Structure 1
Amino acid sequence: MSLYTTEAPIIITCNKRLAPYLEQEVKDLGYKIEEAFVTGVRIKGTINDCIKLNLNLYCASQVLYSLEQFEAQSPDHVYNHLVKMAWEDILPDPGYFSVTSNVQHPTINNGMFANLRVKDAIVDRLRDKRGNRPSTGSELVGAVIHLFWKHDYAEIFVDTSGDSLARHGYRKIPGRAPMLEALASATILASKWDKTSPFINPMCGSGTLAIEAALIASKTRPGLFRDNFAFMHLQGYDKEVYYNEMYVLEDQIIEVPGLRILATDISEMAVNNARKNAIAAGVGDMIEFSVCDFADTEVPEGVNGVFFVNPEYGDRLGEIDELEETYGRIGDFMKQKCKGYFGYVFTGNLDLAKKIGLKAKRRIEFYTSTIDCRLLEYELYAGTRDVKITAPQEN
């Protein structure tokens, strides 16, 4: 039996509050969602399907292929079940594997102990069957086995991703307080941007939002930036399947005539780094970078685009008094220069957001690191319609 062609449950995980955008991505790839939950979705498929998912998804973290479900009341139960599984049919010889886990059980107060019991079971099984001990370690550079264990329910997976898919791999110079690539993609997918009208991104920092916008518009998938996935280190891996999927990814990239993505920052170093990141992502020619105060950013007139900014919000960077003035200037800029646009402000400080002086039409929940955030959407009417200037209401 080949895992690459045998259907089983697949769990696709994501960071908190990205699940709705991940779910739509998975549907757009032609898969049926069997279950959606806070941090991911469940479908059914093969590891060949996992290859496609790993290469295509913007918002995902891991793609987990289920091997078995079982009951476990203790770490010994986990060991006793796993040592009977045919790991010699799953892991190559010679080979290297790592173990990760998500455990909520009263017998475990250190997740590393659960990982150790999984590792011991696999090592003992392979040593018995092959007469040699496989290499193991914490670096996710080979095969990865994942244990989910909650109460008495346990499930063992092959993690087909390895390193998290949420980091798309092109960003060589992250800058200060960088936005996670998967989060940036999700906020763009949550917006009303049509992928052809202007995308205006002041305070661009390391360029993540502008780069992700260019990738999404041109249908450039994150899988193009990685050359190592955990599925490559399993028994029966067929390079041709992977190469065929890569050819599909390359063929589907499109040009978007007339698209303008403008990214600015007051820091020359930030703009230089953002430009380098964009070149690494293959979209350097799609983004117009410039060094200026955000209020001097060009906004093309006579079109309906989006203004998208991720200002500091007082947790790690900047002082509150200065930021209050900045948020007020953001509101003034949107009112004066962005008529006919949708304005988006991503922030983790709703008190500062009040200083914008506009009423948000939508308040979309997101989460970054340990901070509860919102993507605030403002409809900036053109013509004679008055814009209401009131503070956003608290949730």
Structure 2
Amino acid sequence: MKFKMMVAMLLFALTTVKAQEYNAPKFGKGLFNLVGKDSSWTMKIGLRAQFLATSTWEDGASNETSFLIRRSRLKFDGYAYSPKLKYKIELGLSNSDLSGASQFTSNAPRYILDAVLMWNFAPNLEFWFGQTKLPGNRERVVSSSNLQMVDRSLLNSVFTIDRDMGMQLRHHFDLTNKFVVKEIVSLAQGEGRNVTTGNLGGYQYTTRLELFPFGDFEDHGDYSGGDLSREETPKLSLAAAYDFNNNAVKNRSNQGSYMANDSGFYETNTSTLFVDAMFKYNGFSFMAEYADRSAEDPYAKNADGSPLLKDGNQVVVEVGEGFNLQTGYLFKSNWEVSGRYTSIMLDKNITGKNPENQYTLGVSKYIVGHHLKIQSDISHLQIKNDNDELMFRLQCELSF
């Protein structure tokens, strides 16, 4: 309740600024761009929401339809004291943003998505400290407001390492006058965002290397869906990331469910490998991702070595692999047609889960880029020896 009152008071205070004292920025550039009198700080305040309608059909089952505010968020970013010390804060307000309250988050909603300081302490070198996305799979790092389709793929759902609290070191350099190299290393707590009770296992170590043989993308297009910048020359990003979660206590590295046993938690070293690519040229875009998760011992156990069971089933780490291919073409009318193929192949001998293949066809209309757009897609999910599923989605994105 206190948090909601604080947000309401902040919005009221900002909206009561006299019109003659403040000129609002262009649509999509934030609600307010504030600058201190001595220019020692800045703050851009943004607001966004996604409105989603979904309809699904399963073999032998009736149709299910739902309407949802998929995301609703407040964003703050700028610099403090010096342009070399930047910050980003993002708060989630929708039910899906807040979900996941547990004893490990002090039984409180998970309001905070990002709260991170970024210090550019040397040329081409930044130190990040706080809670933010880890440098894992590309699709996850792409903002949900900049997606080419209604939402991310099944690969992201199963393998992402999402957000965590810790430190990151980011560096880039020019190998030639065009060839750019970017490197990231990260140390995190290893249990996901907003955890207040930790560290239960060990730490999580992540590294990512990105190669740009034809130079950097326009407008950070390597982390944005679709070629809205209509790259005048071919642009390519090739990347690989490796994540090692020492003594992980969750069944999906730092995501999924805690593996609680009779003495506390089952712990096992979990590794995840990501390889991905992004290509864009003149309205055409193509993205490919591969993920592989392994564990030192994927079978969870109690202290005496007996199998850890839940609802009569063996608790395991979800090990296996998946890949995702996605492409699209943006017409000059700012209509885009896109397609995606995703395959998830968890180790059935361990997880008991059958392979899944999903085919998706999407259509998007960009009214003001990613800030105001309408997107729709239809997906066919094939599960071996199980029911198939057909899903239709319609979504509107509005962001200031």
Which structure shows the higher helix fraction? 1
The TM-score with structure 2 as length reference comes to 0.28
Larger radius of gyration: 1
The TM-score with structure 1 as length reference comes to 0.28
Which structure shows the higher strand fraction? 2
